[in-house]
Amino acid sequence: MDALNNVFVNIAYAIRGLFADPQSVWANLVMSVINFIIVVVIVVLAALILILLERKVAGWTSQRPGPNRLGPRGWFQTIADALKLMGKEDITPAGADKFIFKVAPMIIFSLPMMTLAVIPYGSGMAPIDLDLGIFYFLAISAISTVAFVMAGWGSNNKYSLLGGMRAVAQMISYEIPLLFSLLGVVMITQSFNLGVIVQDQKNIPFILIQPLAFVIYIIAGMAELNRAPFDLVEADQEVVAGPFTEYSGLRWGLFFLGEYGNMTAVSALAATVFLGGWQGPGFFPGWVWFWMKVGVIIFFIMWARWTFPRIRIDHLMHLAWKVLLPLSILNIFLTGLGIYIYRLVMGG
């Protein structure tokens, strides 16, 4: 069990052991490259699996089989789709701001790689063990707003522009409750380090101590991801596909990869902060527990998408500023009070 638990850590030690000095600059460089490749693989694999999963969940909620032709139960469908996307013509609209138009998908795609790099996938398995993990994560994920605006503005399309403007309004609004909902946990653990937060959940996951924060985080996270019912940015019934309207081929594919990568990242943070990360009651190695928790959250997000209608824009703002924000501040206050009373009682 312990061997399985630490299999990746041991491999990392073995690789470092190949160098004369395991802590030398060269060893660190090689390890960084390997970590980077692993994160890229995680993003791409997640997208490949999640696209299929999404379609299967969609089929399940709407009582139809979903993709079922290619390979066993349609499991090769995404691969075929990816190949198709690669073969498509790359169109840049005539009136587009070419540089912005081309850079936007790359930014979207790079963000989940940066955020997934600080997640501890198992005991001692964070590719980069940052002390300011949560802070870094939120700062990076906020950049996606800029990418959406770039895509919307650069396409020179009215639908895209409307979508981009919606992205700004929505993501800035939901950034705040998202951040505040995590503060309660930070107050308890006294640390921004994700590894420390997971360690502190050895006895009890924070979802039981901070249920309100978890709910706020999931709602704000869905809004942050532009997932239905908060998918106003890419609402295909109103603004066709919002910022993605003019994209084709691989650039559009990058948006897709980025979207699913971001979904993985937000779910991974939820699993880490609220569900105890790689901590589990045994049976499986820690990293399996971690991915199972991520899977549950992803399934929930997809389920909500295919069940709920889209929310109206004024209700969206109402929810962010008049409901979630006060609730998250209340949660911080209650947490502070709780910590104070705990210290009084325990005499700490």
Partner 1 sequence: MTIENTEELILNMGPQHPSMHGLFRMVVNLEGETVTKIEPKLGYLHRGMEKLAESRTYAQFIPYTDRLDYLASPHNNWAYVQTVEKLMGVEIPERAEYLRVIFGELARIASHQVCIASTALDMAGWSAWSYAFRDRERICDMYEMTAGSRLTVNIMRIGGIIEPPAEFWPALKSFLNDTPEMIEEYNGIFFGNEIAQGRLKSVGILSKELAENLSITGPVLRASGVNYDVRKAEPYSIYDRFDFNVPVRYGCDSYDRTIIRLDEIVESIKIIKQAVRDIPEGPVMAKVPKVIKPPVGEVYHRVENPKGELGFYIVSDGTTKPARVRIRPATFINLQMLPIVCLGWKIQDVVAIFATLDAVLGEVDK
Question: What's the rounded Cα separation, in Å, for the pair 340 and 345?
Answer: 9
Question: What's the rounded Cα separation, in Å, for the pair 208 and 274?
Answer: 8
Tell which one of 7, 36, 48, 61 touches partner 1 (CB under 8 A). 61
What's the start-to-end Cα distance of the chain, in Å? Answer: 37
Task: Extract long-range pairs of 97-103: CB within 8 Å, 24+ residues apart.
Answer: 97/153, 97/154, 97/156, 98/154, 99/154, 100/150, 100/151, 100/153, 100/154, 101/150, 101/151, 101/154, 101/155, 101/246, 102/251, 103/150
Tell which one of 50, 52, 125, 162 touches partner 1 (CB under 8 A). 162
Q: Which of 52, 328, 60, 55 lies closest to 185 in space, CA to CA?
A: 328
Burial readout 239-271 (b: 16 or more C-beta within 10 A, e: otherwise): bbbbbbbbbeebbbbbbbbbbbbbbbbbbbbbb
When asked if residue 62 is in the footprint of partner 1 (CB under 8 A), the reply is yes
Between residues 200 and 234, which has the closer beta carbon with respect to partner 1? 234
Give me the least distance between CB of 242 and partner 1, in Å please: 12
Question: What's the rounded Cα separation, in Å, for the pair 279 and 195?
Answer: 11
Give the range of 23-31, 154-162, 203-211, 327-335 binding partner 1 by CB under 8 A: 154-162
Between residues 197 and 316, which has the closer beta carbon with respect to partner 1? 316
Give the range of 124-132, 189-197, 229-237, 272-280 binding partner 1 by CB under 8 A: 229-237
| Owner of token pair 């009136």 | 95
Give the list of residues 6+ apart from residue 27 with CB closer than 8 angstroms, or none.
Answer: 16, 19, 21
In the DSSP assignment, the letter for residue 84 is: H
Tell which one of 159, 244, 247, 252 touches partner 1 (CB under 8 A). 159
Between residues 55 and 293, which has the closer beta carbon with respect to partner 1? 55
Near partner 1 in 299-338, by CB under 8 A = 306-315
Give me the least distance between CB of 318 and partner 1, in Å please: 9
In the shown chain, the binding pattern of residues 163 to 182 toward partner 1, with x for contact by CB under 8 A and - for none, equals ---x----------------
Give me the least distance between CB of 206 and partner 1, in Å please: 28
Give me the least distance between CB of 278 and partner 1, in Å please: 34
Give me the least distance between CB of 319 and partner 1, in Å please: 10
When asked if residue 229 is in the footprint of partner 1 (CB under 8 A), the reply is yes
Between residues 203 and 237, which has the closer beta carbon with respect to partner 1? 237
Tell which one of 119, 232, 270, 271 touches partner 1 (CB under 8 A). 232
Between residues 166 and 293, which has the closer beta carbon with respect to partner 1? 166
Tell which one of 18, 63, 87, 347 touches partner 1 (CB under 8 A). 63
Structure tokens at 246: 């003019």
When asked if residue 149 is in the footprint of partner 1 (CB under 8 A), the reply is no
C-alpha distances (whole Å) from 292 to each of 2, 58, 115, 121, 130 are 19, 20, 19, 11, 24
SS3 70: coil
Between residues 185 and 327, which has the closer beta carbon with respect to partner 1? 327
Give me the least distance between CB of 306 and partner 1, in Å please: 5
Give me the least distance between CB of 105 and partner 1, in Å please: 22
Between residues 167 and 188, which has the closer beta carbon with respect to partner 1? 167
DSSP count for the chain of H helices, then E strands: 15, 0
Burial readout 157-166 (b: 16 or more C-beta within 10 A, e: otherwise): bebbbbbbbb
Binding site for partner 1 (CB under 8 A): 58, 61-64, 158-159, 161-162, 166, 228-229, 231-232, 235-240, 306-315
